[in-house]
Amino acid sequence: MKHAIVFGGTGMLAGATKWLIETTDHISIIGRNKHKLEQLYSDHDNSDLRLVTLDYKDNEALRHFMRQTIQTYGPIDLVVSWIHSVAPDAIPIILDELTHQEHQWRFVHIKGSSHDLSSILAEIPVPRNCRYCDVQLGFKVEANVSRWLTHKEISNGVISAIHYDKKKTVVGILYPWSKRP
């Protein structure tokens, strides 16, 4: 991949983000906390790694970032997005900005919730030039006790979805929902 953007890659997705840093020509990692971005990726001296402090709830700032990034670094091949429901306009803005690209690109949409199974299963409208990848995060049941996924399990699931270009990936289990932790 030549150009990737990761939204929400400093926490549970840190392992997947580090893998992308190694496999992408140019990558922008978007985070709301500058200190977390710099602390997590301070050991990388990759000049094609760009750390961007941006609150994706700010619609105009997000639009500006998307346009500037495309203009500066060229078309985007991959967007990895773990954007929470507190920013309901963010994903539509990203999709809208990339609809204008002439080439095919991938959108890896990571969805996880401790509350609402319907939000994990919900589908979104996808532009024609986009290959959509739905990554649904569930939970694990071991010895009849449920637990949330570890950071490593989440990152490995996302890496697998990207590497194998899967249309849909469930990390852990979603059913029975009543068994979640």
- Top mean pLDDT of 3-7, 28-32, 124-128 is at 3-7
116 — pLDDT class (breaks 50, 70, 90): confident
Residue 90 falls inside a structural domain: yes
Domain encompassing residue 11: 3-135
Say how far apart CA 157 and CA 177 lie, in whole Å.
19
167 belongs to a structural domain: no
pLDDT value at position 139?
A: 95
From residue 91, give the alpha-carbon distance in Å to each of 4, 80, 84, 86, 98: 15, 11, 10, 11, 11
Distance CA 125, CA 112 (A): 19
Establish if 158 belongs to a structural domain: no
Whether residue 99 lies inside any domain: the answer is: yes
Please report the pLDDT score of residue 47 as a whole number: 63
Mean pLDDT rounded to a whole number for the chain: 89
Number of domains in the chain: 1
Residue 28 lies in a domain: yes
In a domain, 108, yes or no: yes
User: In this model, does residue 153 exceed pLDDT 90?
Assistant: yes
Specify if 157 maps to a domain: no
Q: Tell me which range, 14-23, 42-51, 112-121, 160-169, is most confidently predicted by mean pLDDT.
A: 160-169
Q: Which residues contact 94 (CB under 8 A, 6 or more apart)?
A: 7, 62, 66, 79, 81, 107
More confident residue, 135 or 50: 135
Condensed to tens digits (0 to 9), the pLDDT of residues 27-54 reads: 999 988 888 888 766 666 666 888 889 9
Mean pLDDT of all residues in 124-142 = 92
pLDDT by residue (tens digit) across 46-94? 668 888 899 999 999 999 999 999 999 899 999 999 988 888 899 999 9
Q: Look at residue 168 and tell me if it is in a domain.
A: no
CATH classification of the domain holding 38 = 3.40.50.720
pTM above 0.75, yes or no: yes
Q: What's the mean pLDDT in 148-165? A: 96
Query: What pLDDT, on the 0 to 100 scale, is given for residue 44?
Result: 63
